[in-house]
């Protein structure tokens, strides 16, 4: 494999269901992230993967791995939700300082995710945002292309967008070449940050379980 990631900073019993029950969740006190990371490093040593990284890690959790005296290979990537409503400037700064590449998932706000995945009624939709649509209209492009170019040029980070529809795939790929965000556009988009996370990780939170949104995200 080119890249292998720890998907969430949680520990699970073998053969768990989804969402997991309280008894299928293991606390990080009993299964520290450093132990999982050591196993990830073995995959590199054994020639199974070229690079290893993490996903949904806060700067605090990343720092815990980086500063662990037993760490031999620092994370190459941190894959996190990121878009104009969730810009994560502090995390971007930390990752840049430590040579960790950020890859954004849900760069369009994940509007088509299942209703039972952190979806709430009347949530703000990126693709329907008036300012984003105004910028798209000004440049004669789609709102999705505005969001993708923002991520790649202003984030800055790579962006993962998923579609099985060929015209949308072509549109997404054309985002960088179709137009350029001007300084007015960038300033308007910078002002959209409301710390809105669409995939909260609430499916790891169970009554009496070891995880809370606060200890997952370190807030």
Q: Residue for token digits 């007015």?
A: 184
CA 166 to each of CA 54, 76, 162, 163, 177: distance values in angstroms, whole numbers, following the listed order? 30, 31, 11, 8, 18
Handedness of CA 180, 182, 183, 189 (dihedral sign): negative
pLDDT, tens digit (0-9, with 9 covering 90-100), for 178-187: 899 999 999 9
Instruction: Give the pairing type, strands 25-26 and 11-12.
Output: antiparallel
Q: Residue for token digits 């590449």?
A: 101
Nearest Cα residue to 186 out of 91, 87, 110, 88? 87
Give the separation between CA 52 and CA 36, rounded to whole angstroms: 12
Give the separation between CA 51 and CA 43, rounded to whole angstroms: 9
pLDDT, tens digit (0-9, with 9 covering 90-100), for 87-137: 999 999 999 999 999 999 999 988 777 666 666 777 889 999 999 999 999
pLDDT-derived band of residue 36, with 50, 70 and 90 as boundaries?
A: very high
Give the separation between CA 64 and CA 35, rounded to whole angstroms: 12
Query: Is pTM, for the whole model, over 0.85?
Result: yes
Note the maximum CA span of the chain: 54
Return mean pLDDT, the chain.
92
- State the pLDDT at residue 110: 82
Query: Please, where are the H alpha helices in 77-125?
Result: 89-97
- State the pLDDT at residue 119: 62
pLDDT of 62 > 80? The answer is yes
């Amino acid at each position: 494999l080119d890249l292998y990631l720890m998907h969430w900073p949680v520990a699970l019993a073998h053969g768990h269901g989804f969402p997991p029950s309280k008894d299928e969740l293991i606390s990080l006190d009993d299964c520290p992230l450093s132990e999982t990371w050591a196993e990830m490093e073995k995959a590199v040593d054994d020639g199974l993967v070229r690079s290893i990284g993490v996903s949904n890690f806060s700067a605090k959790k990343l720092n815990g791995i980086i500063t662990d005296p037993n760490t031999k290979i620092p994370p190459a990537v941190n894959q996190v939700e990121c878009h104009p409503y969730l810009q994560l400037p502090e995390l971007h700064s930390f990752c840049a300082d430590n040579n960790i590449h950020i890859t954004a998932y849900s760069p369009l706000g994940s509007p088509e995710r299942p209703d039972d995945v952190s979806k709430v009624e009347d949530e703000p939709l990126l693709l329907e945002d008036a300012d984003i649509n105004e910028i798209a209209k000004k440049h004669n492009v789609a709102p999705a292309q505005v969001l993708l170019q923002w991520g790649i040029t202003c984030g800055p980070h790579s962006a993962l967008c998923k579609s099985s529809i060929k015209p949308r795939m072509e549109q997404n790929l054309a985002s960088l070449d179709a137009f350029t965000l001007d300084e007015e556009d960038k300033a308007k988009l910078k002002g959209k940050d409301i710390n809105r996370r669409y995939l909260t990780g609430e499916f790891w939170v169970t009554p009496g379980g070891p995880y809370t949104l606060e200890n997952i995200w370190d807030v």
